[in-house]
Amino acid sequence: MSNKTSRRNFLKAGVAAGAGLVATRAGAEGDPKITSVQKWAQELGDGVDHLPYGAPSRFEADTVRRNVPWLTADPISAINFTPIHQLDGIITPNGVCFERHHGGVARYDPADHRLMINGLVDQELIFTMADLMRFPRENHVYFLECSANTGMEWRGPQMDGVQYTHGMIHNVMYTGIPLRLLLKEAGVKTSGKWLLAEGADSSGLTRSIPMEKALDDCLVAFKMNGEALRPENGYPLRLVVPGWEGVSWIKWLRRLEVGDKPWHQREETSKYTDLMADGTSRRFTWEMDAKSVITSPSPQMPITHGPGQTVITGLAWSGHGTIPQVDITLDGGINWHKARMDGPSLDKSLHRFYYDFVWDGKPLLLQSRAHDSTGYIQPTKDALRDLRGASSTYHNNGIQTWAVNAEGITDNVEIS
Amino acid sequence: MSNKTSRRNFLKAGVAAGAGLVATRAGAEGDPKITSVQKWAQELGDGVDHLPYGAPSRFEADTVRRNVPWLTADPISAINFTPIHQLDGIITPNGVCFERHHGGVARYDPADHRLMINGLVDQELIFTMADLMRFPRENHVYFLECSANTGMEWRGPQMDGVQYTHGMIHNVMYTGIPLRLLLKEAGVKTSGKWLLAEGADSSGLTRSIPMEKALDDCLVAFKMNGEALRPENGYPLRLVVPGWEGVSWIKWLRRLEVGDKPWHQREETSKYTDLMADGTSRRFTWEMDAKSVITSPSPQMPITHGPGQTVITGLAWSGHGTIPQVDITLDGGINWHKARMDGPSLDKSLHRFYYDFVWDGKPLLLQSRAHDSTGYIQPTKDALRDLRGASSTYHNNGIQTWAVNAEGITDNVEIS
């Protein structure tokens, strides 16, 4: 078509001009994909009995969680990463949800599972899964982010892809029982100010949670995205602690002990604390502050189509609420533009943003900056280092920079 | 604990009394699951390298789509059903999304796929998948329901389970390009009033869609729940027609032809029309009216725990908007109670409802009745038959009845 036509139509459509160039004039090349009857239109495909439980196309085989055994002492106790560079929208499919475990994936029959509530309660209780199915349920879409997400970037760009810099996160709809209902069944004594959540896996992962949070919005969850929790995400039962670092979301949840003070367990003392410049550590830094990142383009998703209409997209989230605004810069922070927020804006959930523009083919320095519903604005990495020094690992919510060259190749960089 | 305590706590929790009975007094039975260290706490579990793309627990092997080959002439052209009785929340996991196809699942390389726009346009265009990735995208959670859903129930209760009476439906977050943007690229002539959408599968499924709907909220979608469409759901490209019967949501979308009148293809004449009592047929009955169903208890999900605190849950939806209210009856319509709506209320999306009550162990006649945002109220099956006779198949949105006996066994029944 002529640019004039396409531009006119495109402006009508209320989006940036340029995409009119993005198509082939029908017949102009006699595209065999169109002018011939394709093979898949000449033969019957697979029947519905093919896969009672479905799987992705074989052409999507690279949309998988990547395991990085070098990150921990033993691959049995490791991490893999959500392929956020390949995903869109805000829902993470269960098959590629980030997982982290300290003793491997405990796999057992839910009929054998029990949840115990003990400690400072009127009556210690034991629940079977069948017992729990009789309590009122709620459904919420929440992000789960490991507080070590982006941790490798504290001392400068290291990881070659947004899956590794920001992929310790997933966002699903959880179905669960408000924790306060179960605690009220047991009857929390007035001296009960803290909760110890314990997992049934071999690491016996335990975390202290203040009673105020436990009685607020925590869930004892048994489903994610409609179906049972996946084994690596705590099947059959996990604690959901909205907006808080993922390590508190105890998987394979077997016990909730009510006490009058925190327990100071390994995973809240020697680990998951923030080493400050003066050698002391910040503790109990539970809430995940507002953060955003451009997922495409990114090192794993270069721009391959050359100049012209281009889609920039990414994710933003906050443990303190929603994300009303994300700013985008193409020039390393000289000029900022409001991104287009799209899809449902839910409390403590991932938000999807887009920036549709016409790329002139010149190098880009891309950044995104999130504003959350409390007014907090995502800081630069230098601002975080000024506050907490260079030796920290956890809670790095600094602004990420991608450098895009004239060929569309994208690198993880930092600008000061 | 004593009922008194539990009642006090339960009322504090603001829910129906009775769940206080639902637990075991810790130690009372010396439950070996608690008093001993379980085997899964004594051994390392699977590592994260176990499944790069995850799968459900082996203990969830019955949460699958059920294929019913008897429903169509050949199993290659058949249907399977979402296991809605086992799901919760509103998101359908991609692995169990209802599927229906007329020539089997077309499987091919997206690099070979093309989308053509031809007919009454200023410029006929051909798009590759790479071309389409340069257009602005939107994300919406929409239900897709086959207009034949519940069709077998027109002449009375037949199917032994909600998966079969109401499982021709799924609800996912779609990512796609507003169809109007692609049509504007081609430039629709003023004489262009209708659109023909054509699939690339061997059935060459085609449907006529009025231009008004095409320019309103239709999407050309390439992702569901964040990842690429599944092959059985149209990979790599499908048309999303919000609120309209599923057959219009053309899968493996290869062509959009603009014309001045409908095409009267097979799937909109001999099929997907409603045979009326006088022998004529209703045509172009595209929109799915408000509907609801209790998914648990249901014939596949009997009440197994006996009297006491019980959760009733189900789904409601409307092609005309949202669902502000669902009513529940326990006695076949003598008394109605407002259900608790839970989770996000999104336009043309499934809604989840609950009714938490204390079952006295006496037989129940369960029904749910949806009210949509237009004020429309879900009708009885008899009311539908009075309007359209007894020979129809499609668009059965009548109220469903489940009979629960004293043992909790649940049957598909009808009351007049």
pLDDT tens per residue across span B236-253: 999 999 999 999 999 999
A145 at interface of B, judged by CB pairs closer than 8 A:
no
Q: What is the pLDDT of residue A103?
A: 87
Q: Inform me whether the pLDDT recorded for B11 exceeds 60.
A: no
The answer to whether residue B190 neighbours chain A at the CB level (below 8 Å) is no
DSSP B296: E
- Torsional class of A4: left (φ above 0), alpha (ψ -120 to 50), beta (otherwise): alpha
Find the DSSP H helices in B13-128. 32-35
B95 vs A contacts (CB less than 8 Å): 53-55, 94-95, 227
Mean pLDDT of A225-251: 97
**Which residue, among B134, B201, B237, B359, would best test binding to A if mutated, counting the most A CBs under 10 Å from its CB?**
B134
Residues A393-406: tens digit of each pLDDT = 999 999 999 999 99
Mean of the per-residue pLDDT values of chain A: 91
Cα A378 to chain center, whole Å? 16
Q: What is the pLDDT of residue B264?
A: 96
Q: Do A163 and A84 touch, CB atoms closer than 8 A?
A: yes
Residue B98, φ and ψ in degrees, nearest 5: -40, 140
Both tokens of residue A93?
Answer: 């499919």
- Say if the Cβ atoms of A227 and B60 lie within 8 Å: yes
pLDDT band at B17 (very low <50, low <70, confident <90, very high): very low
Q: What is the pLDDT of residue A32?
A: 56
pLDDT for B336-395, tens place per residue? 999 999 999 999 999 999 999 999 999 999 999 999 999 999 999 999 999 999 899 999
Q: What is the ipTM of this complex?
A: 0.92
At residue A22, the pLDDT reads 67
Higher pLDDT among residues A283 and B31, named by residue: A283
- Judged by a CB distance cut-off of 8 A, whether residue B322 touches chain A is no
Instruction: Work out the widest C-alpha separation in chain A, in whole angstroms.
Output: 80
- Nearest-angstrom CA–CA distance, A289 and A165: 16
d(CA B245, CA B263): 18
Helix pair A3-12, B179-186: axis angle to 10 deg: 150
Nearest-by-CA chain A residue for B202: A41
How confident is residue B3, by pLDDT bands cut at 50, 70 and 90?
very low
User: CATH classification of A287-415, choosing from 3.30.365.10, 3.10.20.30, 2.60.40.650, 3.40.50.11540?
Assistant: 2.60.40.650
Across the range B261-284, mean pLDDT stands at 93
CB within 8 Å of A29: residues ≥ 6 apart: none
Q: Give ranges for CATH 2.60.40.650 in chain A.
A: 287-415
Kindly state whether A344 is in contact with chain B, defined as any CB-CB distance less than 8 angstroms.
yes
Distance CA A324, CA A319 (A): 14
Note the pLDDT of residue A133. Answer: 97
d(CA B154, CA B396): 7
Task: Give the separation between CA B273 and CA B283, rounded to whole angstroms.
Answer: 5
Contact B185 A6 (CB under 8 A): yes
Q: Which of A48-52, A325-329, B115-119 has the lowest mean pLDDT?
A: A48-52
Give the pLDDT band of residue B30 (cuts 50, 70, 90): low
Look at A33-37, A223-227, B114-118, B294-298 and tell me which has the smallest mean pLDDT.
A33-37
Question: Is the model more confident about A45 or about B289?
Answer: B289
CA atoms of A250 and A256, how far apart (whole Å): 10
pLDDT computed for residue B14 by the predictor = 32
Task: Give percent of chain B with pLDDT exceeding 70.
Answer: 91
Q: Say if residue B96's pLDDT is above 90.
A: yes
> Mind listing the pLDDT tens digit for each residue in B158-188?
999 999 999 999 999 999 999 999 999 999 9
Q: What's the CA angle centered on B391, arms B388 and B392, to 5 degrees? A: 60
Mean pLDDT of chain B: 91
Residue appearing with tokens 């609801």: B292
What are the residue ranges of CATH 3.90.420.10 in chain B? 94-283
Q: Does domain A94-283 have CATH number 3.30.1330.10?
A: no
Q: What phi and psi, each to the nearest 5 degrees, are found at residue B39?
A: -60, -35
| Region B212-226 average pLDDT | 98
DSSP string, B81-107: E--TTT--SSPPPGGG--EE-SS-B--
Structure confidence at residue A39 (pLDDT):
74
Strand ranges in A211-334 using DSSP code E only, listed in sequence order: 219-224, 227-228, 238-240, 253-259, 274-275, 281-282, 291-296, 308-317, 325-329
CB contact under 8 A, B44 and A104: yes
- B310 membership: H or E segment, kind and range: strand B308-317
Report pLDDT for B64. Answer: 96
* 3-class secondary-structure state, position B7: helix
What six digits make up the tokens of B105?
């699942």
| CA atoms within 13 Å, Cβ hemisphere of B287 | 9
Please indicate whether, in this complex, the C-beta atoms of B91 and A226 are within 8 angstroms of each other: yes
For residue B392, give both structure tokens: 């129809």
How many residues does this entry show for chain A? 416
User: Quick check: A31 pLDDT over 70?
Assistant: no
**Confidence label for A30 from pLDDT (cuts 50, 70 and 90):** low
Contacts of B30 (CB under 8 A, 6+ apart): none
CA distance A259 to B108: 59
Task: Report yes or no: B252 and B234 within 8 Å, Cβ to Cβ.
Answer: yes
Q: Could you tell me the pLDDT band of residue A18, with boundaries at 50, 70 and 90?
A: very low
Rounded to a whole number of angstroms, the distance between the first and last alpha carbons of chain A is 44
Contact A48 B187 (CB under 8 A): no
For A:32-51, CB contacts with B below 8 A are 33-34, 38-51
The dihedrals phi and psi of A114, each to the nearest 5 degrees, come to -135, 150
- In this predicted structure, the answer to whether residue A49 has a pLDDT above a threshold of 80 is no
pLDDT level of residue B321 (50, 70, 90 thresholds): very high
Report the distance separating Cα B403 and Cα B405, nearest Å.
6
State how far the Cα of A231 lies from the Cα of A252, in Å rounded to an integer.
9
Residue A289: how many other CB atoms lie within 10 Å: 20
**pLDDT higher than threshold 70 for residue B209:** yes
Residue A273 has pLDDT above 90, yes or no: yes
Distance from CA of A121 to the nearest CA of B (A): 11
Residues of B whose CB is below 8 A from A88? 137, 139, 175, 223, 226
Please, are residues B357 and B312 in contact by the beta-carbon 8 Å criterion?
yes
The reply to whether residue A66 touches residue B53, judged by beta carbons under 8 angstroms, is no
Task: Establish if A359 touches chain B: CB-CB under 8 angstroms.
Answer: no
Q: Look up residue A65 and give its DSSP letter.
A: P
Rounded average pLDDT over A352-379: 98
Q: With cut-offs at 50, 70 and 90, classify the pLDDT of residue A176.
A: very high
Confidence of residue A11 (pLDDT cuts 50, 70, 90): very low
Residue A114 has pLDDT above 90, yes or no: yes
Q: Copy the structure tokens of residue B197.
A: 């959408």
Q: In this model, does residue A327 exceed pLDDT 70?
A: yes
E strands along B125-245, which residues? 125-128, 138-145, 169-178, 194-199, 206-210, 219-224, 227-228, 238-240
Burial per residue of A240-260, b for 16 or more beta-carbon CB atoms within 10 angstroms, e otherwise: bbbbbbbbbbbbbbbbbbbbe
Give residues 227 to 286 of A whose Cβ lies within 8 Å of B: 227-228, 230-232, 235-236, 252
Shortest Cα distance, chain B CAs vs residue A2, angstroms: 9
CB-nearest to A79 from B48, B123, B139 is: B48
Cβ pair A54, A133 in contact under 8 A: no
